[in-house]
Amino acid sequence: MDESVEHLRDEILERIGRCASESEVEQLRVDALGRKGQLTQLLRGLKELPAEDRPKVGEQLNQFRRLAEERIEQRLVSLKAEARARMLSGEKVDITLPGSRWERGRIHPLTLAMDEIIDIFLGMGFEVARGPDIEDDYHNFEALNMPKDHPARDMQDTFFVSQNRVLRTHTSPVQIRTMERRKPPLQVIAPGAVYRHDDDATHSPMFHQVEGFMVDRRITFADLKGVLTHFLRQVFREDAGVRFRPSFFPFTEPSAEVDIACVICGGKSSTSNQSSCRVCKGSGWLEILGAGMIDPEVFRFVGYDPEKVSGFAFGMGVERIAMLKFGIEDIRMFFQNDLRFLRQFR
């Protein structure tokens, strides 16, 4: 090969390697391969060579051209990669900085607890019913087998808004109102606010209950136990201890108080020493529900034949369940709406 050609090739290849930017590479491409470039000049000079040399030198020059083009492309690729790598490393963030977002509002813990309770019963095929907060004496007491002057009325200190109207002391009147309107089969829950003339760390003049009842042919006390055990194990733990013990409500018979094994000490303090657990006061059990088979008298008030249908009813305090689930000690926290408290719920 002509020495000048070889020299030019080496020089161009070396210059490609030295290019520090894409524009330098492009400039070089023009200088070497462009219309007036050095290589183009050489190719143009071919016709001045002897005819027999032309094919060989031509082939050499073309090889040289292909090689230069290839190197230029390679150089461009690597320069792009270097530039991207520099850009990326220059844009590195501190991933420990806080994410930026709007603060979401919170749903009140009582609503959270209420929703959980409602959903479990909806899943079991119950419907939701509602009733007024201001109730008449008949629905709040009378039809629930609590005639005037019945000692059971003392169990519920009552707010009066007139001679005959009260702030409902429980959600049980919704039972009566629903049965007055409809015929069995019924499986209904009634969530809502209730009121008692009471105010301290464990009692609020207003709190929330979920009442529930199921009426059909041959609904039994065993069914009551099955439904409530299933419910409590969903709200608390799948293996939670549940016990039913006799109690008294004027509108159910038999009546039961339903306890779960203490969620704090796991029921252990009943077997060991007294007074070890603050929440269950050492009994190992927590009262969580009142329940029973609907009293035949109640069926008579709503015009059902107690010989043909039977049913159970239950009621629970939502605050109590929320307090146990979330470890809240003072019921008044629910109604102060301190954001430092409410923000703890998701």
Partner 1 sequence: MKLTLNWLKEFVAFSGSPQQMAELLTMAGLEVESLAPVSSPEDQQDDWALEVAVTPNRGDCLSIQGLAREVAALRGAKLKAKATASPFAAARAEAPVKVEIRSPRCCRRYSAAVLDSVQVGASPAWMRFRLETCGIRSINNVVDVTNYVMLETGQPLHAFDLDRLGAKRIVVRQAAEIGKFVTLDEVERELAPEDLLICDGDVPVALAGIMGGRDSEVHAGTPALLLESAHFEPLTIRRTAKRLALHSEASHRFERGVDAEGTIYALDRAASLLAQVAGARPAGRVVDRYPRRAKAASILLRRQRAQDILGVELSAGEIEKILKSLGCKVQRRGKGAFQVAPPSARGDLSREADLIEEIARLRGYDKIPPTLPVARLHGERADARLRGERAMRSYLAGEGLTETIHLPFSSAELNRRFYGFHRDGAAAVAVLNPLVQESAEMRLSLLPGLIEDFKLNLAQRVKGFAGYALGKVFSLSPEGEPRERQQLAALVYGKRERTGLRVEPAPYSFLTAKGLVEGILEQVGIGERVAWTNSAVPAFLHPGQSACLELDQRTVGYVGEIHPDLSEGLSLPRYGVLELDFEGLVQYPPSQITVRSLPRFPSVERDMAVVVDESFQARRIIDWIKSLGHSLIENVEVFDHYRGANIPAGKKSLAYTISYRAEDRTLTDGEVQALHQELLSQMSGLFDAQLRG
Of 103-162, binders to partner 1 (CB under 8 A) are 103-108, 110-111, 115, 118, 122, 124-125, 127-128, 130, 132-134, 149-152, 154-155, 159-162
Contacted by 325, from Zn ion, partner 1, none: CB < 5 to 8 Å by type? none
- List 16, 176, 286, 293, residue binding partner 1 (CB under 8 A): 293
Q: Per rule CB under 5 A, is residue 265 in the interface with Zn ion?
A: yes
d(CA 304, CA 310): 9
The only residue of 169, 178, 187, 269 in contact with partner 1, by rule CB under 8 A: 187
**Neighbouring C-beta atoms of residue 311, cutoff 10 Å:** 27
Distance CA 294, CA 252 (A): 4
Binding partner selected for residue 277 from Zn ion, partner 1, none, CB under the kind-specific 5 to 8 Å limit: Zn ion
CA–CA distances in Å: residue 138 to residues 142, 177, 215, 294: 4, 11, 21, 17
Does residue 336 bind partner 1 (CB under 8 A)? Answer: yes
User: Could you say which of Zn ion, partner 1, none residue 265 binds, taking C-beta under 5 to 8 angstroms by partner kind?
Assistant: Zn ion
* Among 264, 296, 297, 306, contact with Zn ion (rule: CB under 5 A): 264
Query: Using CB distances below 5 to 8 A depending on partner kind, what does residue 235 bind out of Zn ion, partner 1, none?
Result: none
* CA distance linking residue 132 with residue 145, whole number of Å: 20
Half-sphere exposure of 21 (CA within 13 A, CB side): 3
Least Å from the CB of residue 278 to partner 1: 15
Q: Which residue in 40, 60, 229, 234 binds partner 1 (CB under 8 A)?
A: 229
Instruction: Please give the Cα distance from 316 to 91 (Å, whole number).
Output: 58
Least distance to partner 1, CB of residue 20, Å: 37
- CA proximity to 292, closest of 329, 324, 246, 332: 246
Q: Which of the listed partners (Zn ion, partner 1, none) does 342 bind, with a CB threshold of 5 to 8 Å by partner kind?
A: partner 1
**Cβ 221 to partner 1, closest distance in Å?**
5
Residues numbered 35 to 74 that lie near partner 1 (CB under 8 A) are none
Q: Which is nearer to Zn ion, 232 or 280 (CB)?
A: 280
Q: What is the DSSP letter of 132?
A: -
- In the list Zn ion, partner 1, none, the entry touching 255 (Cβ below 5 to 8 angstroms by class) is partner 1
Interacting residues of 149 by C-beta distance below 8 A, sequence separation 6+: none
Amino acid 255 reads S
Judged by beta carbon, residue 165 or residue 243, the one nearer Zn ion is 243
Residue 167 phi/psi, 5-degree rounding, is -80, 125
Dihedral over Cα of 139, 143, 149, 150: its sign: negative
Q: Which helix (H) or strand (E) holds 293?
A: strand 285-294
String of DSSP letters for 40-85: HHHHHGGGGS-TTTHHHHHHHHHHHHHHHHHHHHHHHHHHHHHHHH
Matching residue, tokens 């409590």: 232
Encoded one letter per residue, x for contact with Zn ion by CB under 5 A and - for no contact, window 274-293 reads ---x-xx-------------
Q: Of partner 1, Zn ion, none, which one sits near residue 34, judging by CB under 5 to 8 A according to partner kind?
A: none
Which stretch in 25-33, 62-70, 83-91, 225-233 sits in contact with partner 1 by CB under 8 A?
A: 225-233
Nearer to partner 1 by Cβ, of 8 and 204: the residue is 204
Site residues, Zn ion (CB under 5 A): 262, 264-265, 269, 277, 279-280
